[in-house]
Structure 1
Amino acid sequence: MTSNERIIENVNATMSMEGMPLTQEDRELAASCLEGKIEFGEAIASLVKRYTQKPVVR
């Protein structure tokens, strides 16, 4: 197991304890950050965009 794989597994274990295990997409995003393919800020912006709910307009 590589260092990056170990980091991702540790994060998954922590998130799983909170009932939110990592998806395959989450794992790939984390790996991209750890490998230097994308900046952490870009990954955070991507996650915020994905999980931010749009307000309901009535």
Structure 2
Amino acid sequence: MTVVELYFLGNSVIELNGEYVSEITIFKNGIKEFTFTGLGAESMTPKKLAAMQKETLR
């Protein structure tokens, strides 16, 4: 199980930091990467949203 999965299952950042100190940077990036924004079919990850915005600017 990944640190991100443990976070979404209800473990606090402080608890996870105590056990997975070296993985906290990965954890923070993972939260950003796997947290969906929007509703239903319109939801997407911030990473995908940033890619779409970058493509729009071209």
TM-score, with length taken from structure 1: 0.33
Whose helix fraction is larger, Structure 1's or Structure 2's?
2
TM-score normalised to structure 2 length:
0.33
Higher RCO structure (Cα 8 Å, ≥6 apart): 1
